[in-house]
């Protein structure tokens, strides 16, 4: 059985061009989508959670991580 018969295409993907698919909305996925958005690159973010979480998951950052975050904000 072909995959397309098992997984029908979502209507929004039929008309929208996607250049990059980002899997995971964690810190790396968030950084990736922020960078893609800055350069006007079309992307689709896929995550296992259906909605955004309202709580923090990373309460501290390593010094080098803080330096990198400061350069992109």
> Contact, 29 vs 53, CB < 8 A?
no
| H-helix or E-strand spanning residue 22 | strand 20-23
Does residue 3 carry a pLDDT above 50? no
> Contact, 38 vs 50, CB < 8 A?
no
The torsion of the CA quartet 57, 62, 65, 71, rounded to 10 degrees, works out to 110
Taking only the tens place, the pLDDT of each residue in 9-34 is 565 555 678 999 999 988 889 889 98
Nearest residue to 45 via CA among 31, 62, 64: 31
Could you give the count of Cα atoms lying within 13 Å of 66 in the half-sphere of its Cβ? 5
Taking only the tens place, the pLDDT of each residue in 49-66 is 777 666 666 667 789 988
Q: What is the mean pLDDT of residues 30-45?
A: 92
């Amino acid at each position: 059985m072909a995959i397309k018969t098992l997984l029908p295409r979502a209507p929004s993907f039929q008309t929208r061009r996607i250049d990059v698919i980002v899997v995971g909305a964690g810190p790396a996925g968030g950084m990736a989508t922020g960078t893609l958005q800055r350069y006007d690159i079309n992307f689709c973010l896929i995550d296992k959670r259906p909605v955004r979480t309202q709580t923090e998951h990373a309460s501290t950052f390593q010094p080098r991580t803080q330096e990198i975050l400061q350069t992109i904000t």
